[in-house]
């Protein structure tokens, strides 16, 4: 029974005992990249593990505020550790990943399992609950946030990190920079007693008060907005925000709209779209590159030539929780020769020298997007799939991209 539960939670069986003569293994270290998720076996899991396990440095109140403005989750975990709690990564990570792409019931199940294993309940411990709330806020998961606050509001910390909205303006893709998501999520925090009310001007979220806009009509408007994002990004974002104010429900075009934004939209457009996506359609944990219902979003963003493509790639990983470690076999191109997965033998190259199932790193190398290649390398693509770096180098040499070759060769030495 316990073995099945541990498999469901992503907690592997205990390692077999080693003999006294066995060579001790060195503890795994994680590369810290300020403001970014570090390298590791999976992007999100390693990010959480670093925050939970790296040596703790005491921070002053002002330093915690600075950290809060950079990363809500990092600040929440640091506060818990600094206050004497020592949350174990083995226990907390299965809960945190579910706060991005799971359901509240999945979080509750995981928490109950660890309580049976004689661990403290994260849902009943204020500073641990604050970490879960921070994850839901940062990753734009409104339904999860609502459930956590409404069901456990009595367990709020004595001093909430969410007291003042001004701390959430300057963070990368800060929640208060979204005129729809910011006030909406802040209202949930205020009603639960976790935050101070906004001013009247900040709190207003205009909606038409009527039925949701037809999703098919909205999909066409979103496509038009994304198509003009290179020439007028502000107007494109305004069109999307107007759809949100008109109570946009992306179902059944959730994955299609995500694909449009990954191919043509801006980082801000994608960040503003994320709160509309129901994670209940996703049934895989931890977060993967196939979320939600779209198998190619990460590779599609990596295959863009523009700077916006790198920004979109970062949002997919940092906020949507997708993983950069996508394997070959994900069909991401669209065109007369490769619209269908069976249109070509996967090992056959297309006319431009690429494969329709290139993983993200090769897709970025193919188009010469050095910024996206560097981002993917920093997130550990080559560390998990060593052979892909050799393939990337070969592709860069074939393309005659000297700067790309230098970058990849430098990374190969690391």
**Domain holding 413: CATH number?**
1.25.40
- Judge if 110 and 51 occupy the same domain: yes
Domain end, chosen from 218, 249, 277, is at 277
Cα gap 53→29, rounded to integer Å = 10
User: 353 in helix, strand or coil?
Assistant: coil
- Quote the domain boundaries for residue 96: 2-8+28-163
- Judge if 212 and 312 occupy the same domain: no
Q: Is residue 71 part of a domain?
A: yes
Q: Are 44 and 285 in contact (CB under 8 A)?
A: no
Task: Give the model's pLDDT for residue 229.
Answer: 94
- Judge if 301 and 324 occupy the same domain: yes
- Judge if 361 and 381 occupy the same domain: yes
- 123-127-131 Cα angle (round to 5): 75
- Judge if 259 and 374 occupy the same domain: no
- 406-266-189 Cα angle (round to 5): 115
323: tokens are 């993983």
Q: Are 213 and 222 in contact (CB under 8 A)?
A: no
Q: Are 254 and 215 in contact (CB under 8 A)?
A: no
- Judge if 115 and 48 occupy the same domain: yes
Residues 6 or more apart in contact with residue 235 via CB below 8 angstroms? 225, 228
Low-confidence ranges of the chain (pLDDT < 50): 1-23, 26-40, 206, 208, 285-286, 289
- Judge if 399 and 324 occupy the same domain: yes
Domain end, chosen from 277, 296, 313, is at 277
Task: Give the model's pLDDT for residue 3.
Answer: 40
For the whole model, what pTM was predicted? 0.84
Q: Is residue 113 part of a domain?
A: yes
52: tokens are 């939970």
Q: Is residue 33 part of a domain?
A: yes
Burial string for 116-150 (b: 16+ CB within 10 Å, else e) reads eeeebebbebbbbbbbbbbbbbbbbbbebbbbbbe
Residue appearing with tokens 């925050």: 51
- Judge if 346 and 225 occupy the same domain: no
- Judge if 108 and 225 occupy the same domain: no
- Judge if 285 and 315 occupy the same domain: yes
Task: Give the model's pLDDT for residue 119.
Answer: 87
Task: Give the model's pLDDT for residue 289.
Answer: 47
Give the chain's domain count: 3
Domain end, chosen from 256, 277, 298, is at 277
- Judge if 157 and 231 occupy the same domain: no
Task: Give the model's pLDDT for residue 353.
Answer: 82
Cα gap 4→357, rounded to integer Å = 34
Residues 6 or more apart in contact with residue 34 via CB below 8 angstroms? none
- Judge if 79 and 152 occupy the same domain: yes
User: 196 in helix, strand or coil?
Assistant: coil
């Amino acid at each position: 029974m316990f073995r099945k539960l541990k498999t469901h939670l992503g907690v592997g069986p205990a390692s077999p005992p080693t003999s006294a003569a066995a060579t001790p293994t060195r503890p795994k270290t994680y590369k810290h990249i300020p403001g970014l998720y570090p390298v590791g076996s999976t992007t999100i899991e390693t990010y959480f593990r670093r925050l939970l396990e790296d040596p703790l440095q005491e921070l002053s109140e002002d330093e915690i505020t600075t950290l809060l403005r950079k990363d809500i989750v990092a600040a929440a975990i640091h506060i818990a550790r600094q206050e004497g709690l020592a949350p174990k990564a083995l226990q907390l990570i299965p809960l945190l990943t579910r706060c991005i792409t799971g359901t509240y019931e999945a979080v509750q199940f995981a928490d109950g399992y660890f309580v049976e294993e004689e661990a403290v309940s994260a849902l009943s411990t204020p500073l641990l609950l604050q970490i879960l709330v921070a994850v839901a806020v940062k990753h734009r998961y409104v339904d999860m946030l609502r459930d956590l606050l409404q069901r456990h509001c009595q367990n709020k910390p004595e001093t909430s990190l969410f007291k003042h909205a001004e701390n959430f303006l300057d963070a990368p893709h800060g929640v208060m920079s979204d005129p729809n998501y910011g006030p909406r999520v802040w209202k949930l925090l205020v009603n639960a007693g976790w935050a101070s009310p906004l001013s009247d001007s900040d709190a207003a979220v205009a909606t038409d008060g009527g039925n949701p806009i037809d999703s098919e009509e909205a999909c066409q408007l979103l496509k038009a907005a994304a198509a003009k994002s290179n020439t007028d990004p502000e107007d494109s974002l305004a069109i999307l925000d107007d759809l949100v104010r008109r109570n946009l429900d992306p179902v059944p075009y959730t994955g299609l709209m995500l694909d449009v934004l990954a191919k043509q939209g801006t980082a801000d457009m994608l960040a503003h779209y994320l709160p509309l996506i129901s994670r209940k359609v996703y049934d895989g944990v931890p977060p993967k590159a196939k979320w939600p219902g779209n198998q190619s979003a990460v590779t599609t963003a990596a295959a863009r030539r523009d700077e916006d493509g790198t920004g979109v790639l970062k949002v997919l990983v940092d906020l949507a929780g997708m993983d950069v470690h996508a394997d070959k076999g994900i069909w991401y191109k669209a065109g007369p020769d490769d619209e269908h997965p069976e249109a070509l033998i996967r090992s056959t190259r297309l006319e431009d020298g690429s494969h329709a199932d290139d993983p993200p790193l090769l897709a970025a190398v193919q188009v010469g997007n050095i910024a996206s290649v560097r981002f993917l390398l920093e997130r550990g693509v080559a560390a998990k799939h060593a052979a892909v770096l050799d393939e990337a180098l070969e592709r860069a040499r074939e393309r005659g991209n000297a700067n790309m070759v230098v970058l990849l060769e430098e990374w190969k030495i690391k």
